[in-house]
Chains A and B, each alone.
Chain A
Amino acid sequence: MALSVRFERRATTPLGLRVIVLSLAVVLGAFAGGLLVQASGYSALTAFSAILEGSFGGTYPISQTLAAAIPLATIALGTAVAFRVQLWNIGGEGQFYMGAFGATAVELIGGPAGWPAIVLLPAMMVGGFVAGAGWALLPGWLRAWHGVNEIITTLMLNYVAVLWVNYLVYGPWKDPAGRNFPFSPRFPDSATFSRFGEGQLHVGIWVPVVAAIVLVLVLARTRWGYELRVVGENAEAARYAGINVRSTMLTAMLVSGGMAGLAGMVQVAGIIHLLNGQLSTNYGYTAIIVAWLARLHPLAVLVVSVLFGALVNGGFAVSQVGIPQALGGVLQGMILFFVLGIGDLFTRYRLRIVSLPSTVTAAAARGTST
């Protein structure tokens, strides 16, 4: 008899275990981050109290945290849809920019024409969604019909989208009254979301909340949601059942791009109130991580986005006490490493000590002698 320790694939992963693992990863990530802060000559205690204070300590910090979570959550909801059918849409960044462009295009028509907010804002949402979806159309079609790697195409189109928006704000859409700054004209009030109180939190918060609820229902209670599930888990079985795998993939990609586009609209209408070339601080990329940490579940996306919004905001708070703002990004990375490292290991596998059957041991012993 011999004992051997091995990892076995788990049959199922209890939800409780996932929550524990994520929490553990957050704690370990924070601990490692704390060591780094301490090693750099700052006080970890000061840093963490500043983060908590700055992200959740009062109505203004909470408002800022939630405002930062809005684009992350909206993009991540779409990313999660694409990931569910094994499509790696990492073009959220570009689709976000295109959404802002689409919304601004609608605003440029409706604003001067004096459309009321009740008409203009929904029209801008449609414009944003359509432009974002349109930006995902080519990669989605290439992937579903011709097997072209969507990671590369979506990634490359991000740069094109950013350049396109820059072209507009440096060129034809530049505000003539803007003293040569690369901005579009400021949106009229009818094209902006109203704010809650002093912070940046705006009515657009309802977009990801409503979208998440709708998405939960769509995934669980519609034929399309069912088809996504089947195609994502087993495309072979989907084909066997007569499901059109290609069009399911394409629609998932379009919804994914559309959500990122909607996020772009919400950002320009809610926070920036104009179009410029620096709309996003890597929201599209961070949203991928949010979606992944939330295990592609819409409601979990909301929760994780708030956590990441808090880290973005906490970064700003630590800079007030003399610690570099980038601590927020460091912590995001650390948490992610720990989730990837320990998280996957313990949610997908279980540690088991097994005794080897004696025949195998004997055979192994013989093997060494030959």
Chain B
Amino acid sequence: MAAPRPHRSEEAVALVGIAKAFPGVVANKDVDFSARWGEVHALLGENGAGKTTLMSILAGLYRPDAGQILIDGEAVTFHAPGEAIRHGVGMVYQHYRLVASQTVAENLLLGLPGVPFRLNAGRFIREARELSERYQLQIDPSRPVWQLSVGEQQRVEILKTLQRGATILILDEPTAVLTPQESEDLMRTLRQIAAEGRTVILISHKLEEVRGVADRVSVLRGGSMVSAGLPIGALSARDLARLMVGEDVPSLRQEEQVARAGGTRLLLQDVCARDTRDLPALTDVSLEIAVGEILGVAGVAGNGQRELAQVVTGLRRLTAGQISLDGRDISHASARTMVRLGVAHIPEDRLGEGLIGNLPLTDNAVLKSYDRPPLSFGPLLQVQRVVGFTRTLIERFGIRGARPDSLTRLLSGGQLQRLLLAREMALNPKVIVAVHPTRGLDVAATQQVQEWLVESAREKLASVLLISEDLDEVLQLSDRIAVLYEGRIVGCMPARGADRGQIGLMMAGAANVAAGVS
């Protein structure tokens, strides 16, 4: 293991004028960033602020469109992660790169230069154990990775990076998957790594965590650096929250609010659910949406949003609690029953879940209604009507340039979302579950989608559950706002007069600071 070499520059990393765009999205615009040797530097920002992209550029995974990378004062260009590692930059991604059937020691050896042909298991296990003990990353090197908890797997990733001689260690949202105790242990390890003179860059959106461990903080918002390298001591949680979510934006919709037209439509009582990894994802979630009301759920992605949408649409089993629609218990209804009861769903992953790219528009337009009259008769599909139905949707929702037989994946992002909304609105839904409905859309499409949602609520009296990580959108469209953090509703308030800063604090888990809001 390489010891930190003597430094030429006080700054371990300097990024100058970094820009990076992906098709349709600008991830980073003219970003300057620097971190010193021996510090824990937090990179704070909401989801989609461009944190991971910026650090992936530093780690050699992406190449910047413009800008320069300096490591210890020397300008470098990386074509592959391997080159970044040779310059001492190692990154622990949110998706671990481990071979599940191999042991911890074997994972540490994979691709490591200088490993002899014959593997001396005893020696490598001993070395791995020494390394793990040195950084208090407790792990049994002889266990296969598939037996490890997520937290343990993360330790293997960190050890892997250190073993490859990383002097600049980047961690992407490391505590998102950890228990509080594991998080605490990790923070102690990070401090120790920094104390050896290495640099730790911690990507996070959790204010308390950042305040607890970092020396300095840089904040990204919407792809731009809003403040770089502020000493953490001078900042309160409230300051950080404001930097992260921005200044107050005037609400467009609150003046137009109509009185709530009727009683409760959708009711969730103490709902619990587990995620795909069988870990608790929702805990005692209780929500109530009235007829014609828009309830916005704010929160950083990964705090149970996906699972919340799934339980309401019948795609995920409840482990406890109850859901009712107009007084009828629908806790265990199937996805198909939910559709028939009038629950529309605009999923997060448009082309992966909501639409089928390789099929024509017709097949996508009827996805929710193909199985009953008028579009089918017994086992038969009424093909003429399917085409007619599709044509009506195209015309009514202005999906320009599309024909019923066009391939769906050839549509633009905005067209795709229009098609999806058109289909869901055609169900005359009582409830609309909309997850990140405007993510990645251009201005015109965003506005259109938002107008349709508001119109459904105001005129058709649909109840809308709007789940979005875009706080502006939630504030603009909602009648009431609930904040979801780590699977719990940590606050619920009317949108009128809601304090942006407080919501920001709650989203970032500083609920104690925001106490008294609910």
Q: Which residues of B contact A11 (CB under 8 A)?
A: 407, 409-410
Contact, CB under 8 Å: B381 / A240: no
Interface-side segment among A47-55, A179-187, A226-234:
A226-234
Q: Are B315 and A370 in contact (CB under 8 A)?
A: no
Known: A223-B379, A223-B380, A242-B314. A366 touches B356 (CB 8 A): no
B357-371 toward A: CB 8 Å interface, digit per residue (1/0)?
111000100111011
Inter-subunit contact B376/A234 (CB<8 Å): no
Cβ B355 vs Cβ A237 within 8 A: yes
Complex contact A359–B66 (CB within 8 A): yes
Answer whether A360 and B334 are a contact pair too, CB < 8 Å, given A223-B371, A242-B339, A367-B79.
no
Q: Are A359 and B383 interface neighbours, CB within 8 A? A: no
CB distance from A336 to the nearest CB of B (A): 24
CB neighbours (8 Å) of B76 from chain A are 370
- Of B314, B339, B359, B379, which contacts A230 at CB under 8 A? B359
Q: B66 near A237 (CB under 8 angstroms)?
A: no
In the complex, chain A residues whose CB is within 8 Å of the CB of B380: 221-223
| Min distance, Cβ B458 to any Cβ of chain A, angstroms | 27
**Do B335 and A242 have beta carbons less than 8 Å apart?**
yes
Judge whether A230 and B363 touch: CB under 8 Å.
Answer: yes
* Chain B minimum-CB-distance residue to A357: B65
Residues of A within 8 A of B371 (CB): 223
Set B338, B347, B363: member contacting A226, Cβ < 8 A: B363
* Interchain CA distance A363-B363 in the complex, whole Å: 45
Instruction: Point out the residues of chain A lying under 8 angstroms from B255, CB to CB.
Output: none
In the bound complex, residues from chain B placing their C-beta under 8 Å from that of A226 are 363, 366, 370, 381
A-B pairs under 8 A by CB, number: 86
Known: A222-B380, A240-B354, A242-B314. A230 touches B367 (CB 8 A): yes
B66 to A222, Cβ gap below 8 A?
A: no
Interface size on A, residues (CB 8 A): 27
| B336 part of interface (Cβ distance < 8 Å) | yes
Give the complex CA separation of A237 and B75 in angstroms.
Answer: 47
Residues of A within 8 A of B338 (CB): 242
A12 to chain B, nearest CB (A): 6
Q: Which single residue of chain A is at the shortest CB-CB distance from B366?
A: A226
Cβ of B160 under 8 Å from chain A: no
On whether the beta carbons of A230 and B356 are closer than 8 Å, the reply is yes
Interface set, chain B 34-78, CB cutoff 8 A to A? 63, 65-66, 75-78
Complex Cα gap A67–B135 (Å)? 74
Contact B367 A237 (CB under 8 A): yes
0/1 string, A84-124, CB within 8 A of B gives 1: 00000000000000000000000000000000000000000
Pick from B314, B356, B366: contact of A234, CB under 8 Å: B356
| B354 and A224 contacting across the interface, CB-CB below 8 Å | no
Contact status of A239 and B315, CB under 8 A, knowing A229-B363, A230-B359: yes
Question: Which residues of chain B are near A242, meaning CB under 8 Å?
Answer: 314, 334-339, 368
Q: Indicate if the CB atoms of B381 and A363 lie closer than 8 Å.
A: no
A224/B339 in contact, CB under 8 A: no
- The contact of B353 among A222, A240, A360, A363, by CB within 8 Å, is A240
Cβ-based interface call for A1 (8 A):
no
Interface centre among A220, A222, A242 (most CB of B within 10 A): A242
List 9 other contacts, CB 8 Å, given A12-B407, A242-B336: A223-B376, A226-B366, A240-B353, A241-B335, A241-B367, A242-B334, A242-B335, A359-B66, A360-B63
Closest 7 CB pairs of A and B: A242-B336, A242-B335, A367-B77, A234-B356, A241-B367, A233-B356, A233-B358
